[in-house]
Structure 1
Amino acid sequence: MTKTTEVHSDKIHLGISSCLLGQKVRFDGNHKLDSFLSGTLGQFFEWVPVCPEVAIGLGIPRPPIRLVGAASAPRAVGVKDASIDVTDKLAAYGKQQARKLDDLSGYVFKSRSPSCGMERVKVYQHAGVPAKSGRGIYADAFLSGQPWLPAEEEGRLSDPRLRENFIERVFVYRRWQELAAQGLSAGRLVEFHTRHKLALMAHDVEAYRALGRLVAQAGRKNLKESGRDYLLHLMQAFQRLATPARHANVLMHLMGYLKKHLDAGDKAELLGMIHAYRRGEAPFAAPLTLLKHHFRRHPDPYIAGQTYLNPDPRELLLRGGP
């Protein structure tokens, strides 16, 4: 779990493979600049670039490496010279960085890299035939040290749903880091869970209930262990993509808080908008904006504290919300 260190609210640090920012650190002396990451996301986040291959002493340019052997425990060796084996160095550096970079709120890894790829990295048999896909040595070691950290590959962020999910997870984890910086207590854990109730329901209702049980038991168990368990399950729950059906259920739940305030016409309009969204005939912003309008007229303290309706303004901008 994150250490209790100071967290600056105006700076959100994300780790990133250096080549994605245009740094010429790849084996061939080139880069893989991603303009969305360096430009759009770079306006909101402070990048912490890392190239593990350079960090462990490999030059620029350098002989390329690849993964060989068992997909569950591959070795990172030279493509042309198998006597070059940097597996242990990459793994050790990943563990070291996971301890050192404990203030990160997320990480974007270079896809298909034998050091940084999160998944679908080719693992070759010794005869040179691709076997099952695996994970880069550095990425595996780093994420084993911080299993709760929101992480993605740059290629997957071109998918709008995956991008929105990653951004949401970054801000959820950021709020957890702020909680940890204040000092974890049973009361603060309850408050944090309560604020994220509706957002969790849009991702995984069963996970929300299971997390609620963890929170209820937190005061009777070791708080540090309870907090770690809660964080792991929380980030796993948010990793499950929200769907229109689950969003619609949450929107209906929100509508229930307004039933004493809306007349028949307002109820019919809101209900019709929610059903239109569920059927794919209206964007998510349509019923959400209408709900916000009604809650401005009829404030509810509990709803006002929900991150689902009132996220960080930066999160709202990046996710394209109303």
Structure 2
Amino acid sequence: MGQTKPKIAISACLLGDEVRFNGGHKRSELCTERLAEHVELLGVCPEVAIGMGTPREPIRLVGDIAAPSAVGTVHRELDVSAPLRDYGKHMAAQLPGISGYIFMQKSPSCGLYRVKVYQANGLPAPGGGRGLYAAAFCAEHPDLPVEEEGRLNDPVLRENFLSRVYAYADWQELLQRGLTLHRLTSFHARYKYLLLATNPDQYRALGKLLGSLNKHNLAEIAPCYFSALMVALQRCATRGTHSNVLQHISGYLKQTLTSEEKAEMQQLIEQYRRGYVPLVVPLTLLKHHFLLHPDRYISQQVYLQPHPANLSLRNAL
């Protein structure tokens, strides 16, 4: 991980800004207190930005679930579909340095999942859709880690999202330093065990992709590699895949640990696999052993610390 804080765009109401249709906010303690210490949060409210006042008439999505319109709930002639979509494209160009985006759930402008789209019969369509601003923004940045604030209350989704944010920031840093064959292959090597914990098949597929890499196709293959990496990291690791990775990494200590230390390590990994202890327990012991018996390859593995330790994200896994 780099030394600079990753930038994350966020729905302004989640920061406590009074920009909601009713003049209120939806301040998120998780974002404003726990995350703000480690990332730079950039607040955005598309509805205020396109000139809708505060307080204002609420809007809702209507029509085709794949391409809905955003209209007023009282004055149906109020249609802000085009302004919201245009502003999404505008902000996608204005925020190239962000490494993630946290959206307000259920919002007709910012919601990512299951936003109500009302049909002619007055009832919402099954499954729901995506807010118009969020849809336009995400279409411009398909690799960007995005999540809804409400879903971040799930510890597995929260850890997964922030792992992806820091991976994205890591890639941005690599591009700033300059893309080379060596830097790309080294990047992939550092992400080996994080990928094996989330998507082992994709790790092997990415390895094959890089096997065809040379100085002539670097500019073509690198974006394809990164897009595939970000898709792979979207899959949440399980106790089973984490346990397999812990076993793999502990294998690097087989020449240095005593039989008692090996037994203790195996016992903690098994306790974690069965759900008796959180991931941080076997991981802490593993890190302790590698402090005493350093291994250059393992020390470079992102898996051991994909995000700041003070976030304590793995204490709840």
TM-score range, shorter chain: over 0.9
Aligned equivalent of 1:78, options 69, 72, 77:
72
Identical residues among aligned pairs (%): 50
Aligned equivalent of 1:181, options 173, 176, 199:
176
1:209 corresponds in structure 2 to 204
Aligned equivalent of 1:300, options 295, 300, 304:
295
Q: 1:14 aligns to what SS in structure 2?
A: strand
Q: 1:16 aligns to what SS in structure 2?
A: strand
What's the CA shift for 1:211?
1.4
Q: 1:218 aligns to what SS in structure 2?
A: coil
Tell me if the contact between 1:270 and 1:290 (Cα under 8 Å) persists in the aligned partners.
yes
1:106 corresponds in structure 2 to 100
2:61 corresponds in structure 1 to 67
What's the CA shift for 1:22?
1.1
Tell me if the contact between 1:110 and 1:117 (Cα under 8 Å) persists in the aligned partners.
yes
1:3 corresponds in structure 2 to none
1:25 corresponds in structure 2 to 19
Q: 2:137 aligns to what SS in structure 1?
A: helix
- 1:131 counterpart letter in structure 2: A
Give the structure-1-normalised TM-score: 0.93
Q: 1:257 aligns to what SS in structure 2?
A: helix
Match status 1:233 vs 2:228: yes
What's the CA shift for 1:321?
4.6
Distance in 1, matches of 2:257 and 2:121, equals 70
RMSD: 1.7
2:194 corresponds in structure 1 to 199
Match status 1:319 vs 2:315: no
Tell me if the contact between 2:61 and 2:71 (Cα under 8 Å) persists in the aligned partners.
yes
Distance in 2, matches of 1:124 and 1:224, equals 44
Q: Gaps (5+ residues) in structure 2? A: none
What's the CA shift for 1:311?
3.9
What's the CA shift for 1:221?
5.8
Q: 2:249 aligns to what SS in structure 1?
A: helix
Tell me if the contact between 2:11 and 2:103 (Cα under 8 Å) persists in the aligned partners.
yes
What's the CA shift for 1:85?
1.2
Residue pairs, 1:238-253, within 5 angstroms: 238-253=233-248
Match status 1:43 vs 2:43: no
CA shift digits 1:208-256 (9 cap, x unpaired): 1111122222326632332221121111111111101000000110121
Farther off after superposition, 76-85 or 118-127: 76-85
What's the CA shift for 1:29?
1.4
Distance in 1, matches of 2:117 and 2:139, equals 19
- 1:226 counterpart letter in structure 2: I
Distance in 2, matches of 1:52 and 1:318, equals 29
Distance 1:225 1:57, change over 3 A: farther
- 1:116 counterpart letter in structure 2: C
Distance in 1, matches of 2:294 and 2:173, equals 26
1:219 corresponds in structure 2 to 214
- 2:196 counterpart letter in structure 1: M
Distance in 2, matches of 1:227 and 1:59, equals 44
Match status 1:154 vs 2:133: no
Tell me if the contact between 2:181 and 2:215 (Cα under 8 Å) persists in the aligned partners.
no
Q: Gaps (5+ residues) in structure 1? A: 1-7
Match status 1:57 vs 2:51: yes
Distance in 1, matches of 2:298 and 2:3, equals 23
2:137 corresponds in structure 1 to 142
Tell me if the contact between 2:158 and 2:313 (Cα under 8 Å) persists in the aligned partners.
no
Distance in 2, matches of 1:162 and 1:173, equals 16
